Amino acid sequence: MNDRVARFTALVTSQPENPLFRFSLAQALDDAGQPAAAAQHYQICADARADWMMPRVLLGKALLRTGKPSDRAAARPVLEEALALAIAQDHQDPAIELSGLLASLA
């Protein structure tokens, strides 16, 4: 376990309801090459706030990187939801990136 993963694991353990600690843990896991573990935490963050776009973006990407066909299929609705939020919140660059990702899944 690398230092960032260990640090954020400890923070999540001490405050499991804190979505920002959990989001940071998910990013650390993702950066450490553990997309499946990261996806679990991104999902919790996405479930915590209906309007939080970034966990959905990163969840979709993590699901695509696990290599499992079932995760790849699960990524599409997550990315579609992230795109809807990007458009609603006027985040143009993420909207363009998400549109491209979704087109590549077709």
Residue 41: HSE in the Cβ half-sphere, 13 Å Cα cutoff = 24
> What pLDDT score was predicted for residue 48?
94
* CATH classification (class only), 3-105: mainly alpha
pLDDT in tens, 20-48: 999 999 999 999 999 999 999 999 999 99
pLDDT in tens, 44-84: 999 999 999 999 999 999 999 998 999 999 999 999 999 99
Classify the C-alpha dihedral 32-83-89-46 as positive or negative: negative
The whole model's pTM is what?
Answer: 0.94
Residue 3 has pLDDT above 90, yes or no: yes
> What pLDDT score was predicted for residue 64?
95
Name the residue ranges covered by the structural domains of the chain.
3-105
> What pLDDT score was predicted for residue 106?
78
